[in-house]
Structures are given as C-alpha cells and as structure tokens.
Amino acid sequence: MAEKWKFNTRYDLYTQITHEGEEIPPDPKGTLFESGTGLHDLSGVRLLSATIDTVKQLYHGKLKTKWMNRIVEAIENRVEFFSEGPVGPWHISGMGSRSGYRYKLQNNEKGLTILVKRFHAKVEDADTHIKIEVSPHRIRDQESVNNGVSSGLLQRDMDSIAKWLMEYPKPQGVAVHMAVDVQGWEPNKDFLDKFVTRTRAKRDFRGIQSVEFDGLSEVAAIYGDNETFMFGKASAMQMSIYRKDKEIIKHDKVDYFHRVWKEDSGGWFDPEKFVWRIELRLVHGIMREIGEGLGKEIESFEQAKPFLTDIWKYGLDRNRLMSTARYIDPFWQLIMEDVVYKRPAKGVVVRRVKKKDMSNAGRNVAMMIGNIVTLGARRQMKALEIVEMLEGMAIYSDITDYLDSKGLHHTHLLTMIERGVKLRRLLGKVA
C-alpha cells in the first residue's frame, strides 16, 4: 500500500496519564493518537462487532433437467412453496430480467436465497446459472472461529446446494460485504469535505427518506438527516456509512443485532446510544481482480477468507477519512488497524489486476456493440433480441471481458442496450 499520507502515533492512554512528563513508548493498540494536530483520545469509541454481512456465491455449470422441470412446473402451477433440496423448504417465485435470473428460491429463516437460471442463457448450456446469497446470521452461525480457525461449513453448504441443482458446479465468483459497527463516533459536519475517494461526483439527497442507489454511476451521496453516506458504484467497490441502529428497526432485526453487539463487545454495547456502521461491499469482479493481483484464485468465499482483513485495509485506504491533508483521521486508523475478519492481516500488498488487458480491444468491442444496437434499433428489434444475438456470436467472450474490465457483470449488458435502443429511437438516429 503506497503511503502518500501518514498514520498517527498511538499511545496507551493510562500509561500516558500515569507517566505525565516522561517519554512514553508508542503502543500499536493504544487509544491515544498523536499527529500534527495534537492528541486525540479515542478511549470512548467502542468497536461493537466486525462481521461478514453478505456473501454472494456464483456457480458455473449445467442445470439438472429434473430440477429445472420441477421449478418451472411449480411456477406455472402457481405453487408458492417448494420443499425440495438439502436445506428447504423454499418460497418459490419468478424474477424479472433486471435481476439477471429467472427464478428465486428463498428461505429467510435459514438465511438463504438461491437465484436460478441466468436470464439470457439457454437452460441446456453451461453458464453461471446459480447465485447463492447468504444472510449475516447464517454466515455468523456457520463461520464460527475456534482457535483462530473457521469451520468452513458455509462453503460446504453452498457447494451442496449447487450440486443439488447443477451438474459439476464450479465456483465462479464471490461478492463479499464486510462491516464494522461502532459507538462513540459519528461523522462530523465536514465529513464529506475530509473524505478522500475515487468517486467522481458527489450528490446530496438530504431530506429524502429513501433512494435507490443501483442506478447511480460513480457517486458519493448523502441522504436523510446526515445519516447515510454512499461512495462508489454497486457494480464495483462501494462503501456505505449509516445509522445501523435505525436500519435494524426498519427491518425488524433489533433483537438479533442487540444480542450480537452485546456478545461481541464484551458487554460494552449501550442500547441508548447511536450505532454507526462502516460497510465495504466488493462485487465478484473486484474480488477476482484482487486475486489476480495477489497471484491467487479468488472465485469462492473459502478462497477469499485468508485475505479479508487485508482487503478491508485496502478498501479503507481507497475510501479514506483524513484529519488533515497529511494525516489520516484517528478513527479511520483505528478501524483500519484493529478490525480483523476471520484471520489477521497477512501484510500482503493488495492491488487489482484485470485478468485480460482490454485497453486496445475495448474500444473496438464498444464500437461493435454500438453499431449493432444502431442496426437493431433500425430493424425495430427489442433489446432482449439484440442481447441474445450477441450471446450467440463467437466473440461474446470478448464482450464479457470488456464488461469485466469496466467492473460490470454480464447481466448489465441488457440495461446498457435498452438505454442505447431508447436513445437512438428518441433522438432519431435509426432512420
């Protein structure tokens, strides 16, 4: 990690007080931070819990005809519940094209959602037909740590679900959300001014009670009453900072999180105080690029686990709260240095390397897609028809490589083409 900024020096607060006037050695776990702006006492900050909030595991393979027929039959007959599989029962429903998948099997009690059959792929072809999304409570239950070693049960359970629905499934991408919940800290009024991020724009949504962020491109946003900050794209690396104590009321998870915070903080949790969450979200494409940079394959949660603490530090470096132009904010340093996910940091240099350099071919691919969209719009083709035509081309892998290079999943192709068709028709470029 290239250090263009400086860490504060940390000291133990009690030692500093009892040895006033003496030269005190630094303490890497101390709560007293010293920089060019003076001393900062963070003894009142409590790190309540550091958790893996979400895992989204993709699998590539061929769907089993037996189970696809059963799922399709259930949907057609409006059967609401599906009792099959290693974890069931499931609530079963159809999905729209924006999700990227045709069907959804959901069991919130078990903390599992399975998206089945990639929307624009043929059922008989091998593809990334399965996405398994796992809730925080299931991750916590199955990834318990004993003597520094996690059980690995979560990956085995996800693999067993994939084997139920697919022939020879192979993990092909994992998205991970990591979060730390804190008390005794909150963003200052100048928070956005001192926050350093690679997002290109800042938008203000204060006064809006809710907003959908998926459609915003490279945006730093704030909405509500200074209670939610969002940095980056949902399709890449995104950071969200928000009032978790309010969010759990909205989603009826108060009892669960109060129990977690009390357990993980050793009893320091105060239910009368605000809880702020700092959450880092990384999609499968970013995790894959980090693996390339490490010289490792990161296509599954189990492969990601050894590097999660290092990735957390990397994310907090790329989205960073500064105290001055030179020194990092003491609180940001605290959560960079003291938060551990599953295993301590290895001290590796985390960087993203794209699997295939698209710098030269990317422009050609983009121009090709644009020309096909123009021709398709002229022939009154629907966006879905254009996507299916592209998927049937021998160079479709170059298109997916191009999307990966932009931090996009192949399911974004339809959205891009729908917009392109609409623009061409509205602006009269199809004659």
User: Omega before 89 cis (within 30°)?
Assistant: yes
pLDDT of residue 35: 85
Amino acid making up residue 408: L
Instruction: Give strand pairing partners of 106.
Output: 91, 113
Are the beta carbons of 327 and 5 closer than 8 angstroms?
yes
Helix extents (H) in 113-243: 136-142, 153-165, 191-194
How far apart (Å, rounded) are the C-alpha atoms in residues 102 and 18? 65
Are the beta carbons of 175 and 191 closer than 8 angstroms?
no
How far apart (Å, rounded) are the C-alpha atoms in residues 361 and 366? 9
Instruction: Give strand pairing partners of 205.
Output: 223
pLDDT of residue 414: 86
Q: How much helix, strand and coil, in percent to the nearest 5, is found in the chain?
A: 35, 30, 35
Report the DSSP pairing between strands 90-94 and 101-107.
Answer: antiparallel
DSSP 93: E
Q: What is the DSSP string of 300-327?
A: SHHHHGGGHHHHHHHHHHHSEEBSSSSB
Which residue has 């003894």 as its token pair? 43
Tokens of 168: 């020879």
Three-class DSSP category at 52: strand
Q: In 3D, which of 344, 324, 320, 341 has the Cα closest to residue 332? A: 320
CA 326 from centre of chain: 29
**Rounded alpha-carbon distances, angstroms, from residue 1 to 217, 242, 304:** 26, 27, 19
pLDDT of residue 261: 97
Amino acid making up residue 368: M
How far apart (Å, rounded) are the C-alpha atoms in residues 41 and 38? 10
Spatial CB neighbours of 304, under 8 Å, sequence gap ≥ 6 = 174, 176, 287, 298, 311
How far apart (Å, rounded) are the C-alpha atoms in residues 361 and 289? 19
pLDDT of residue 53: 94
Are the beta carbons of 409 and 235 closer than 8 angstroms?
yes
Phi, psi (rounded to 5 degrees) for 256:
-65, -50
Spatial CB neighbours of 419, under 8 Å, sequence gap ≥ 6 = none
How far apart (Å, rounded) are the C-alpha atoms in residues 30 and 23? 15
How far apart (Å, rounded) are the C-alpha atoms in residues 186 and 163? 45
Give the end-to-end CA distance of the chain in Å, rounded to a whole number. Answer: 53
pLDDT tens sequence across 60-90: 999 999 999 999 999 999 989 988 888 879 9
How far apart (Å, rounded) are the C-alpha atoms in residues 264 and 47? 9
Q: How many CA atoms lie within 13 A of 165 on its CB side?
A: 33
**Virtual CA dihedral for 359, 365, 368, 369, nearest 10 degrees?**
-120
Q: Which own/partner pairs from 136-145 qualify as long-range (CB within 8 Å, at least 24 positions apart)?
A: 136/51, 136/52, 136/53, 136/54, 136/111, 137/111, 137/256, 138/110, 138/111, 138/112, 139/51, 139/52, 139/53, 139/54, 139/55, 139/111, 140/51, 140/52, 140/260, 141/111, 143/52, 143/342, 145/342
Tokens of 334: 């605290």
Spell out, as residue ranges, where the chain has pLDDT lower than 50.
1-2, 146-148, 201, 207-219, 431
The conformational region for residue 428 under phi > 0 = left, psi -120 to 50 = alpha, else beta, is left
How far apart (Å, rounded) are the C-alpha atoms in residues 57 and 171? 7
Are the beta carbons of 277 and 167 closer than 8 angstroms?
no
